[in-house]
Amino acid sequence: ALYDVPQQTVDYHFIADSPVRVSALRSLGSYANLYAIECFMDELAELAGCDPVEFRLRHLADARARAVLQAAASMSGWAQRGEGGTGSGMGIGFGRYKNQAAYCAIVAKVDVEEKVRVAKVWIAVDAGAAVNPDGLVNQIEGGMLQSLSWTLKESVTWDDAGVSSCDWAHYPILGFDEIPEIEVHVMPQPDAPSLGVGEAAAGPTAAAVANAVAHALGLRARHLPLTGDRLAQAIASG
C-alpha cells in the first residue's frame, strides 16, 4: 500500500461479461486507482483541516516517498499556493510505480474558465541510480503528457451500433498548443538499485490535475475526462 493506514479493507468487483470489448490501458489499473486514491487523500485532508502535502506525509514512513513529495512541493512553491475557489489552483498526486519501482510526485497548476488549462507541471521522480537520466526525463514527460490527454480530453463513446468516437473530431487528444511548461527533477540516488520508470507518471498526473481543479473551483468534479461539460455538471450539482 502507498500509505501507512491501519485496519485496511479492500473490496474489488470483477465484471466478467462486458458489453464492449476492452483491452489494457497504458499503466493498467494504476491510472484509475491512483486517481481515486490521491483524490480521496485530498478529500480526507480537507476533512482533517490539513494541508494535502502535510496530510500525506503524516501517513508515509518510507523516507524516499517522503523526499519525492517534499521535492515536488518545494519545486512548485506549494507553501504559497493560496486559497481555493479563485479559478486558479494547484494540486498534487503521488504514486509508486507497481508499488515496487519508481516513486513519482507531481504538482499541477491550472486555470479554469470554460475549460481546464494546465499552466505548469512540476515532477519529482526517484528511480534509483539513473542509467540514462535524459531518457528517464523523456519517459516521465511523455507519460505525463499522455495522461494529461486522457484526463482532459479522451473518452470512448458508443451508441446502439457500437463505438461512435471513430475520428479525431469525436475523440480529441491534447494539442501542441495545450502542452504546459514542464519541470522534472530526478532525485540523486547513485548508490541505489535502478528502478523501472515506464508508466510512473500516469496516475499521479490525473490526480494532480483533478486536485488542482478542485482547488481552483472549490468543488470536485469526479468523472473523467475533465471536459467543460463535466465541469458545468459538477458546478450545477454543487
Series of mean pLDDT values for 10-residue runs along the chain (238 residues) = 85 82 84 95 96 97 97 97 94 95 98 95 97 96 97 91 88 96 97 95 97 96 93 87
**Cell reading at 117:** 488549462
CA 56 to chain centre: 15
pTM of the model: 0.94
Sign for the pseudo-dihedral over CA of 130, 135, 139, 144: positive
β-bridge partners, 182: 121
d(C-alpha 49, C-alpha 45), whole Å: 6
Give the pLDDT confidence score for residue 16 in this predicted structure: 85
Domain ranges of the chain: 30-228
How far is 188 from 125, CA to CA, in rounded Å? 9
Is the distance from CB of 94 to CB of 219 less than 8 angstroms? no
pLDDT for the residue 148: 98
pLDDT at position 38, please? Answer: 97
Nearest 5°: CA angle at 131, between 128 and 137?
Answer: 80
- Distance separating alpha carbons of residues 204 and 38, to the nearest angstrom: 8
Question: How far apart are the C-alpha atoms of 79 and 165, rounded to whole Å?
Answer: 42
DSSP, res 178? G
Q: Please provide the DSSP assignment of 122-189 as one string.
A: EEEEE-SS-SSHHHHHHHHHHHHHHHHHHHHT----EETTEE---STTTS----GGGPPEEEEEE---
| Paired residues of 159 in beta bridges | 162
Question: What is the DSSP-derived secondary structure letter of residue 174?
Answer: -
Rg of the chain, C-alpha, whole Å: 18
Fold of 30-228: Aldehyde Oxidoreductase; domain 4 (3.30.365)
Q: Is the C-alpha dihedral spanning 53, 217, 175, 173 positive or negative?
A: positive
Tell me: the pLDDT tens digits for 12-25?
888 888 777 778 88
What's the pLDDT score for residue 204?
97
Find how far residue 85's CA is from the centre of its chain.
20
pLDDT tens, position by position, 156-205:
888 888 888 999 999 999 999 999 999 999 999 999 999 999 999 999 99
